[in-house]
Amino acid sequence: MSAVSGLHCPATVLLARHGEAAYEATTWSGEGGSLTLTGRAQAAALADRLHGRRVLHVYCSTMARAVQTAEIAAAKLGVGVTTRIGLQEFSFGSFAQDEDNPVTKTFARWLDGNDLAARVDGGESGEEVVERANAVLAEIADAHSGETVLVVAHGGILSLAIRNLLTFESGVRPQRFANCAYAETELRSDGWRLTGWSDPE
């Protein structure tokens, strides 16, 4: 059981996708990408939307597009950044350099909730992605009881986490994770809750 479960003041964890990025590789790979000018503007605008929220710290994936987004947002918010390997996008396995691969179809099966056990050869299953997302997010929440933190990661892992870990508050539904959109979540005694959603303006 998470250490936060017995506390009355859960952390508010804002889950944001990185800004628009350009990629050197055209295949499915672990390449980190780099923010475009639009992506940099999106990261700055994300910070502007969070002013007044008293964000204490920013956590992010180790992939370049997430780190760059986090650094831009954190600089405007006046807080620090910590990278976490567990927030990386899911692994593409042996199909990482294959132009014609089953990753998209496998991801669709995960999102449909039909087969989280499915995996591409050499890659993670949906269950494993959700498990590592839950582990790192719960650790972050436990460290920030009663505080607000920003987590910058990737559309795939965040979408899976929201659909498989969170209960949705009345009237709140997940949307497509646009660049620098963020979901507002809390880890309460009865589990994760999706309490709000913010798309870029």
Mean pLDDT of 31-48: 93
Q: Give tens-digit pLDDT for 129-158.
A: 999 999 999 999 999 999 999 999 999 899
Q: What is the pLDDT of residue 1?
A: 41
Mean pLDDT of 71-93: 92
For the chain, percent of residues with pLDDT exceeding 90: 53
Residue 85 confidence (pLDDT) above 70: yes
Residue 123's Cα: distance from chain center in Å?
19
Q: What is the pTM of this model?
A: 0.88
Question: What kind of fold does domain 7-144 have according to CATH?
Answer: Rossmann fold (3.40.50)
Q: What is the pLDDT of residue 143?
A: 95
The pair of structure tokens assigned to 134 is 């839950």
Strand order in the sheet with 81-83: 81-83, 55-60, 148-153, 12-17, 182-188, 191-198, 166-168
Evaluate whether 150 touches 172 at the Cβ level (below 8 Å).
Answer: no
Q: Which of 40-49, 117-126, 165-174 has the lowest mean pLDDT?
A: 165-174
Evaluate whether 17 touches 181 at the Cβ level (below 8 Å).
Answer: yes
